[in-house]
Amino acid sequence: MEATARAHTNIALIKYWGKRDEKLFLPMNSSLSITLDKFYTTTKVVFDPALKADRFFLNGKPAGAAETAKISRFMDKIRDFAGAKWYAVIESENEVPTAAGLASSASGMAALAAAAVKALGLQVDGRTLSKLARQGSGSACRSIYGGFVEWQKGEKADGSDSYAVPLLGRDDWELSILSCLLESKQKKISSREGMKRTVETSPFYAGWLETVEKDLAAAKSAIARRDFALLGRILEANALKMHATTLGADPPFLYWQSATLDVMREVELLRERGIEAYFTIDAGPNVKVLCGRKDEEAVRETLAAIPGVQRVFICHPGPGVSYGPY
């Protein structure tokens, strides 16, 4: 009736951008990510037949009504899957500091799915767990696995073929991912809202869909050959293309701030100096920079010196879901 699980955040190199089914969290396109070692969520789930509702604690404090309702809706899907009725006490510890500028929904929903399923005594394979996690937050389906991961969008209306698969283990390619936190004041448009508006209104979205599967195939081939320069060019272009779709939305929006551009420019300058580094940006102003391990300290120093950059976190490829006790 109780279990603890841990899942790590991931960053997309080929972005998940747009849903074809909002209820089942089915994406318009396949995506590709790296799971990160540094940031993760650890979640304990205890089912209790005496409870009348789920109770959710985040970092030791009772979560607010909206957050608890979101978690409980996801728990309903897990209960449906397992044929279980009981409510649960859910305790999550986020090692994803808000200050890291990374979303915790991927690690949070993946850890919750894993802990809840185990607490209910079910043995499921990674694919099944990935499909469940997907229904909490799309990107969570990729956090089931470590290293390089592909989320295959699937074709079926019931989502039974939309799940993540591991591509390359965390130790199979030594890369560094530097997460640059910018000083940010802007109000955030969530990725959920941003992708919805873009799909519904941006004329540029068609261009995204026309080319993203080709980007994915090229990225996979670069990964298979460990061709970092090729992978870097593809992931940078894919991120820029995703952000370009938002400019065509109605009303238009842009996640970048001026410091975002400063970091992008500095990455270009690093390359001019012979250091292979490439950037990607998610649904916010912060920039993630990929480079070889040997260059991580030089790249960190360069990025940390940019005015407007608050902190730089050095990450490496991380592990998939694991089970406690910790």
206: its two tokens: 């068609």
Nearer to ligand 2P0, 58 or 283 (CB): 283
Whole-number Å distance between alpha carbons of 68 and 100 = 23
Q: How many Å separate Cα 255 from the centre of its chain?
A: 16
Q: What angle do CA 294, 179, 16 make, to 5 degrees?
A: 115
Report the residue number whose CB is nearest to ligand 2P0: 138
Contacts of 280 (CB under 8 A, 6+ apart): 11, 12, 13, 235, 236, 238, 239, 287, 288, 290
| Number of neighbouring beta carbons within 10 Å of residue 47 | 23
What tokens does 156 get?
């079926």
SS3 assignment, position 265: helix
Q: List the interface residues with ligand 2P0, window 173-232 (CB under 6 A).
A: 191-192
Candidate residues 54, 93, 262, 282; the one interacting with ligand 2P0 per rule CB under 6 A:
282
Q: State which residue, 235 or 259, has the beta carbon closest to ligand 2P0.
A: 235
- CB-nearer residue toward ligand 2P0: 102 or 119: 102
| Nearest distance, CB of residue 31 and ligand 2P0, angstroms | 5
For the segment 125-144, give every residue that binds ligand 2P0 (CB under 6 A): 137-139
Closest CB to ligand 2P0 among residues 15, 300:
15
Peptide bond before residue 252 is cis, with ω within 30 degrees of 0 = no
77 lies in the site for ligand 2P0, by CB under 6 A:
no
Count the Cβ atoms, other than its own, within 10 Å of residue 149.
26
Q: How far is the CB of 52 from ligand 2P0 (least distance, A)?
A: 27
Site for ligand 2P0 contains 103 (CB under 6 A):
yes
Decide: is 117 part of the binding site for ligand 2P0 (CB under 6 A).
Answer: no
Torsion from C-alpha of 205, 208, 210, 215, nearest 10 degrees: -170
- Least distance in angstroms from the C-beta of 168 to ligand 2P0: 17
Measured from the CB atom, is 284 or 319 closer to ligand 2P0?
A: 284
Tell me the per-residue interface mask from 8 to 47 with ligand 2P0, x by CB under 6 A, - otherwise: ----x--xxx-------x-----x----------------
Q: How far apart are CA 315 and CA 289, in angstroms?
A: 10
Binding flag, residue 290, ligand 2P0 (CB under 6 A):
no
Q: Are the C-beta atoms of residues 323 and 114 closer than 8 Å to each other?
A: yes
Determine the 3-state secondary structure of 183 from DSSP. coil
Minimum CB separation of residue 57 from ligand 2P0 in Å reads 21
CA atoms in the 13 A half-sphere facing the CB of 73: 11
How many residues bind ligand 2P0 (CB under 6 A)? The answer is 15
* Binding-site member from 4, 105, 176, 302 for ligand 2P0 (CB under 6 A): 105
Q: Which is nearer to ligand 2P0, 15 or 44 (CB)?
A: 15
Site residues, ligand 2P0 (CB under 6 A): 12, 15-17, 25, 31, 103, 105, 137-139, 191-192, 282-283
